[in-house]
Amino acid sequence: MNVHSNKCLRCHVSGRVQGVFFRADTQTKAQELGLSGFARNLNDGRVEVYACGPPMHLDGLKEWLRRGPTGASVTAVDCESAAGEHFNGFEVR
């Protein structure tokens, strides 16, 4: 798939998603899918995930975000298209 077909998403994940390795496990999943971007905790208890890559791989990440890692209890995942930014890999912030 050529690089020009890459898309970016910004997702906000709600529920019990902080203190359960959500960001680290999101990083692992994103790396498996070849995505770049970041995951960070927000002050309101949600996790923000920004990811760029092939649409099919972003769909895989969105599906994973709905479940999350063991110990998480996801109640909502809200995603929207985002402007592309350049990241080397996927980081936890």
* Residue 92: Cβ-neighbour burial (10 angstroms; 0-12, 13-18, 19+): middle
Tens place of pLDDT for every residue, the chain, 93 residues?
444 589 999 999 999 999 999 999 999 999 999 999 999 999 999 999 999 999 999 999 999 999 999 999 999 999 999 998 888 899 999
23 is catalytic: yes
41 is catalytic: yes
User: Domain 3-72 has what CATH class?
Assistant: alpha beta
Query: The whole model's pTM is what?
Result: 0.93
Nearest to 64 by CA among 89, 33, 36: 33
Q: To 10 degrees, the CA torsion angle through 55, 38, 19, 13?
A: -40
Q: Mutual orientation of helices 55-67 and 22-32 as an angle, nearest 10°? A: 150
Spot the catalytic one: 6, 41, 46, 93.
41
